[in-house]
Amino acid sequence: MQSKRILVTGGAGFIGSHLCRRLLAEGHDVLCVDNLFTGSKDNIIDLFDNHKFEFLRHDVTFPLYVEVNQIYNLACPASPIHYQFDPVQTTKTSVHGAINMLGLAKRTKARILQASTSEVYGDPEIHPQPETYWGRVNPIGPRACYDEGKRCAETLFFDYYRQHKLEIRVVRIFNTFGPNMHPNDGRVVSNFIVQALRNHDITIYGDGSQTRSFQYIDDLVEGMVRMMNNEEGFVGPVNIGNPDEFTIKELAEKVLALIPESKSRIVHKALPQDDPRQRQPDISMAKEKLGWQPEIKLDEGLRKTIEYFRTIIGRA
């Protein structure tokens, strides 16, 4: 594979840091851009000695003037606790960030991939969710800054594709977990693991019957790279997620079983507004167009993630 100069926005975040590692391992020059709002230098500190890696602290709501061949646009807080902290900035990051990165791609003639989200489906009426489903999103709710911001970013990507013939790729990411997750990001896998390791009560919102489909980070990165590099003109959007569905209660029980020393117990709290009841990807398009499907089972991924958090909490 020919070496490229690749920009990863949000590159110091959970997903971005794994993607940077993968691209470096393939021999590419990687420019990691992050404003460190939710990303952390700790996630990429081991990459600073690599002469093919460069870090730039920058907010994508402002234009960026660099020369690149490919752009992975991952910049945006992705957990409710973070994206609701400053909802106006969250919307700006999705919308202004997309405009700036699309403008950069237009100028440099770079191929650009948008990291969209299963949240564009909202609280779905169709199960599992195919890419043809338009979603059921509350445009004025507390999650709308993220949901509608990502939906608008997809709109911009396809308008640049139609109007300017830009080479775009759009992936819709479903619940993903693994090392480098922020311990306080409020997402369910990291929440349960950290609570169990600290012997705190494991908090389930509602009765725990709502479902999610969890994919390990390595599977996601593989899907993103395949999507970026597909030469068949397939632009997406395409679901990248694990179709194996579990209730939140089942996840809590699995985490406790994998941390047998934990003294945590499960407690229930009220369900947040607009929290989806079901979330499961239809990945038939990813299988057909990319030859991709997840390989790592939930228990295997949980073990690796638990070991990561043991190290993090041990240092705290």
- pLDDT (mean) for 26-42: 95
- Tabulate helix, strand, coil % of the chain (nearest 5): 40, 20, 40
- The CATH number covering residue 31 comes to 3.40.50.720
Closest by CA to 203, choosing from 263, 247, 249, is 249
Residue 265 falls inside a structural domain: no
**How confident is the model at residue 249, as a pLDDT?**
93
DSSP annotation of 200 reads P
Average pLDDT, the chain: 93
Q: Are 189 and 305 in contact (CB under 8 A)?
A: yes
What range defines the domain where residue 132 resides? 5-180+215-243+276-296
Q: Is 146 part of the annotated catalytic residue set?
A: yes
316/265 Cα distance (integer angstroms): 23
Is pLDDT above 60 for 17? yes
Q: Which amino acid is at 176?
A: T
Asked whether residue 266 is domain-assigned, the answer is: no
80 phi, psi to nearest 5 deg: -55, -40
Nearest residue to 97 via CA among 160, 156, 32, 165: 156
Task: Judge whether residue 78 has pLDDT over 60.
Answer: yes
315: pLDDT strictly greater than 60: no
Domain count within the chain: 1
**Nearest C-alpha neighbor of 77 from the set 108, 47, 115:** 115
205: its two tokens: 């919102």
pTM given for the model: 0.94
DSSP-assigned letters across all residues of 51-91:
TTEEEEE--TTS------SEEEE--S--SHHHHTTSHHHHH
Distance CA 9, CA 61 (A): 11
Residue 280 lies in a domain: yes
* 313 within some domain: no
Confirm whether 281 is domain-assigned.
yes
Whether 309 is covered by a domain: the verdict is: no
Please check whether residue 46 lies inside any domain of the structure.
yes
pLDDT in tens, 159-204: 999 999 999 999 999 999 999 998 887 788 999 999 999 999 999 9
State what percent of residues in the chain have pLDDT above 70. Answer: 96
Q: Which of 72, 83, 146, 160 is catalytic?
A: 146
Q: In what order do the strands lie in the sheet with 5-9?
A: 53-57, 29-34, 5-9, 70-73, 111-117, 168-173, 238-240
Distance CA 154, CA 10 (A): 17
Residue 118 lies in a domain: yes
In a 3-state reduction of DSSP, which class is residue 212? strand
